[in-house]
Structure 1
Amino acid sequence: MYTTVELKKEGRLARLTLNRPTSMNAMDDVMMKELADVFEELKSDTTVQVLIIQGAGRAFSAGGDIKAMLDPDSPMDIGKVMVDVSRLAKALYTLPQITMAVVHGAAAGLGFSVVLGCDIVIAEENSKLAMNFIGIGLVPDGAGHFFLKERVGVPQAKNLIWSGKVMNGSEALSKGLIDEVVAEGKAAEYGEAYAQKLLASPIASMIASKHILHTQNIAELENVLKMESEAQVAMRKTADHMEGIQAFVEKRKPVFTGK
């Protein structure tokens, strides 16, 4: 049914795998749409109580697919893409499951937004976690502003967005961005055990608390998503963005001019 993600349900546990391993699960327009569809499907499935989100291959997700942004044959329609990105972020935040991101390798850009949108984040020590949209002259999307603010507050959110800093597991933990750090190669195993612990808890009450806490913030989330979409459409037209993606592909340092 899906070509870029894989959803498996086992009783009360579901596993969602980002599945473009050859491109480090970089998100093209198909994956963004499929993620939105999967989360919306799960919203109406109250039999599932825990959702594990993970990446196939060497990484969780390298973020938006920069090569797809540059493809002259099938240019990414940014307006259409932002509709799906907003859908996926809102559906993720309002899921009636306890969501757990299990991270190995890179979780960058939109991939990091998805991670931060989860209730529980487990990352390996040598993970590379970054809200690095700034490197290509863009703003965080997928509710990156909202999820960062929820986890660490406005001053720290600005700092992380503006610097595009790449953090390992321990650094991200010390800033309050993630919940657990595990040794290299151990995230999947730890996530499994954690999920089983949740399923052996009075999880219906946990899900009810999540619903109460999250529902208060939905209007703010919708406003952030609208503003991110408008800003991203504008930023995609800037000289700095074009220079940023060109420099990325040419593996050189970009020269930004603030335009």
Structure 2
Amino acid sequence: MAYETIELSVNDRYAVLTLKRPEALNAMNEVMLNELADCFERLQGEKGIQVLVIKGDGRAFSSGGDIKMMLQKDKIEDFHEIMDIISRMATAYYQLPMITVAQVHGAAAGLGFSLAIASDIVIAEQNSKLAMNFIGIGLIPDGGGHFFMQERVGVPKAKQIIWEGKIMNGEEAQQLGLVDVVVKEGESEQYVQGFVKKLLSAPILAMLETKQIYHSERVEELKKVLSKELVAQTKMRQTKDHLEGIKAFVEKRSPQFIGQ
């Protein structure tokens, strides 16, 4: 199927999905979110594909949710529709019957970072800018960000990282357990190609069974977290701090939060 904001290419037993909004640093607008959800759901039935690489076109992996979309979806019903699409995307990605590899360069922030760390393997360039930075605009992580952070670093550290919203490079994120492999700037493509080759020459059916056992046990928990993120994010979008965060972002200044 032809997509507008993503591109899927299949090469025998592996596929590459490229986010293709380079002019917006691959920010996820409504079209991209719908296309990602649709693509991941379609891939559920692709038993011949054993590895999926996801990467970004241009200068970044993904800068996160599109701010313009967030400003336009000011009605609660419209916002809930977007969150439902995000939940579809995250749930389908987590249940893919293939090994998922995030090939990260440039920015992977907010929802883009949630998608990256949802992958089985995260490979990032040294100078990547990685951030679970929802806090900067008075919001909480979505796209299952709470769930995937907990899976990788545990609850205490996940809370601290979410609350700080710090921008990390590849090595800093690796030290925390959020990134699995760090490569030099400009070398992620070559490394990932070699990594995929090794995966496909391994007993990958056994590897996929291990993934299925772990993920099937936890998918209901992911769905519960996504539901709670919807409720909490709806609440946060109505706060003065969120409005100030968005205004400060647009005006390119530091926000002045008041805890309301």
TM band (smaller chain): over 0.9
Q: Quote the Cα distance in structure 2 between the aligned partners of 1:80 and 1:243.
A: 24
Instruction: Give the aligned partner of residue 188 of structure 2.
Output: 187
Which one-letter code corresponds to 2:123 in the other structure?
Answer: I
Q: Which runs of 5+ in 1 are unaligned?
A: none
Which one-letter code corresponds to 2:224 in the other structure?
Answer: N
Residue 22 (structure 2) pairs with residue 21 (structure 1): yes
CA, structure 1 residues 76+167, in 2 after alignment: closer, same or farther (shift >3 Å)?
A: farther
Q: Quote the Cα distance in structure 2 between the aligned partners of 1:170 and 1:73.
A: 37
Q: Give the % identical residues.
A: 57
Instruction: Give the aligned partner of residue 137 of structure 1.
Output: 138
Q: Quote the Cα distance in structure 2 between the aligned partners of 1:150 and 1:240.
A: 29
Q: Quote the Cα distance in structure 1 between the aligned partners of 2:165 and 2:229.
A: 17
Which one-letter code corresponds to 2:201 in the other structure?
Answer: A
Q: How far 1:239 moved relative to its partner?
A: 1.4
Instruction: Give the aligned partner of residue 234 of structure 1.
Output: 235
Q: How far 1:71 moved relative to its partner?
A: 4.0
Instruction: Give the aligned partner of residue 204 of structure 2.
Output: 203
Structure 2 counterpart SS, 1:114: helix
Which one-letter code corresponds to 2:157 in the other structure?
Answer: Q
Q: Quote the Cα distance in structure 1 between the aligned partners of 2:224 and 2:77.
A: 24
1:224-258 per-residue CA deviation (whole Å, 9 max, x = no partner) reads 01000111112112111111111101101111111
Asked if the contact 1:29/1:76 (under 8 Å) is kept, the reply is: no
1:14-46 per-residue CA deviation (whole Å, 9 max, x = no partner) reads 000010000000011111111111110111111
Instruction: Give the aligned partner of residue 55 of structure 2.
Output: 54
Q: Which runs of 5+ in 2 are unaligned?
A: none
Asked if the contact 1:68/1:75 (under 8 Å) is kept, the reply is: no
CA, structure 1 residues 47+20, in 2 after alignment: closer, same or farther (shift >3 Å)?
A: same
Asked if the contact 1:25/1:62 (under 8 Å) is kept, the reply is: yes
Q: Which runs of 4+ in 1 moved over 3 A?
A: 71-76
Which one-letter code corresponds to 1:121 in the other structure?
Answer: V
Asked if the contact 1:69/1:75 (under 8 Å) is kept, the reply is: no
Residue 219 (structure 2) pairs with residue 212 (structure 1): no
Structure 1 counterpart SS, 2:54: strand
Task: State the superposition RMSD in angstroms.
Answer: 1.5
How many pairs are equivalent? 259
Q: Quote the Cα distance in structure 2 between the aligned partners of 1:243 and 1:226.
A: 26
Q: How far 1:77 moved relative to its partner?
A: 2.0
Structure 1 counterpart SS, 2:259: coil
Residue 111 (structure 2) pairs with residue 116 (structure 1): no
